[in-house]
Amino acid sequence: MRILHLLKTAVGASWALRQTSELVKLGVEVHLALPEGPMVSKYQQAGVKVHIFDPSIELKKPWKNVAQIKRLRALVDEVQPDIIHSHFVATTLLMRLALRKYAIPRIFHVPGPLHLEHLIFRNVELGLAQPQDFWLASCLWTQGRYERSGIASDRVGLAYYGVNEEDFLFQHSPKVDLRKQLNLPNDSFIVGMVAYFYGPKRYLGQTRGLKGHEDLIDAIAIVKHRHPQVKCIFVGGPWGKSHDYFNTVKAYAQQRAGDACVFLGLRNDVPLLYPQFDLAVHPSHSENVGGAVESMYAQVATLTTNVGGFPDLVIDGQTGYMVEPKSPSQLAAKIIQAIEQPTDKQQMIANGLHKVSQVMNVEHNAKQVFDFYQHIQRLKAK
């Protein structure tokens, strides 16, 4: 079986390396189109046949798409894949535009649900699909959304982007002691949030950032009246051109919660920070499985919103805490519960580690992908 994968980046995206490496072990001849970058040699070492080419559609310079289409067609003609597997919206759009007359089955492995949550963007993506298009969801919400949109269930599969516990190096280190560095009392209850700051997209009707930083700030303002020892540590910096938004959020935190909120900015020692949190909060408005994977593997009590792929991992009261999105009062109530009921919190941590280890197992997830390839081939043979 020969599969051509399309990636728009060779920086990071280690999930793609894990998936393609496991597919090679399963006997798949994996070809990969991606730009030049530091990950290229790692793919080659894993037995992946690399083709240097950014297979993404050009939205800002649309005249360049003529050359992009020609290059992708030439690559497909050279590789002659059984299936083409795209991992981003930008690579999927180019794939569909360039290969409309090709009978080769094509998979869009959907990295997150954001575009599906908006009618216009969802309809654009679905409108470009043809009979040779298939979808792999990376959470149950996404799978269900396609089926509710009229896509036949035999054209939509499920395969998480797996991460195993050994992919992380969570550990305590005397060199990084948040309580000492921030001069916090020993009885401080540390709430941690690790996420980039994405400014609101006004054209989507957003008034607050996608990750819900402002919601957590409002929640902390409520909690501190009952538990003044609470401290909320924000780890992460502005994404792209969101510097003004980042500064606005910091000012808002000072106004609403005073010194209860601390902003550490970008850090390269996140694995050392997570074990020092008493509670990790992911208050996103839209998400796949997001940072919940990291905090659950780090064996930190985890609180998420009920969006996207979070429910695939977090069962309220069993593997973590869950609230409805955009609800600071619900966030505050769960934080207070975590402070006041520490015994329950410890059991949820153990359950959460077991759950994330099952759902996000890399070998199992690669087998999900492989099985979907075989499913497509059987449908094609009918």
- Listed by start position, the domains of the chain span 2-162+361-381, 166-359
pLDDT band at 167 (very low <50, low <70, confident <90, very high): confident
Given a cut of 80, whether residue 193 has pLDDT beyond it is: yes
Long-range CB contacts (within 8 A, 24+) of 311-318: 311/140, 311/141, 312/139, 312/140, 312/160, 312/359, 313/289, 313/352, 313/355, 313/356, 313/359, 313/360, 314/352, 315/355, 317/344, 317/348, 318/348, 318/351
pLDDT band at 241 (very low <50, low <70, confident <90, very high): confident
pLDDT band at 155 (very low <50, low <70, confident <90, very high): very high
Contact 313, 289 (CB under 8 A): yes
Average pLDDT over residues 271-298: 93
Question: Which residue would you say has higher pLDDT here, 380 or 107?
Answer: 107
For residue 131, give both structure tokens. Answer: 């009979």
Give the tens place of pLDDT for each residue, 118-135. 888 899 899 989 999 999
What's the CATH number of domain 166-359, 3.40.50.2000, 3.30.450.20, 2.160.10.10, 3.40.47.10? 3.40.50.2000
Give the tens place of pLDDT for each residue, 63-95. 888 999 999 999 999 999 999 999 999 999 999
Nearest-angstrom CA–CA distance, 283 and 211:
6
Mean pLDDT of the residues in the chain: 93
CB atoms near residue 177 (< 10 Å) = 13
Cα angle value 338/329/300 (rounded, 5°): 30
Q: What is the pLDDT of residue 203?
A: 72
Least Cα distance to 35 among 74, 57, 6, 15 occurs for 6
Class of domain 2-162+361-381: alpha beta
pLDDT band at 9 (very low <50, low <70, confident <90, very high): confident
Give the tens place of pLDDT for each residue, 311-345. 999 999 999 999 999 999 999 999 999 999 998 89
Contact 221, 214 (CB under 8 A): no
Task: Name the DSSP letter for residue 238.
Answer: B
The CB-side HSE value for 325 (13 A sphere, CA atoms) comes to 16
Given a cut of 80, whether residue 204 has pLDDT beyond it is: no
pTM for this structure? Answer: 0.89
Task: Name the DSSP letter for residue 83.
Answer: E
Q: What is the pLDDT of residue 254?
A: 96
In this chain, the answer to whether the domains covering 2-162+361-381 and 166-359 adopt an identical fold is yes
Q: What is the pLDDT of residue 382?
A: 75
For residue 17, give both structure tokens. Answer: 């390396």
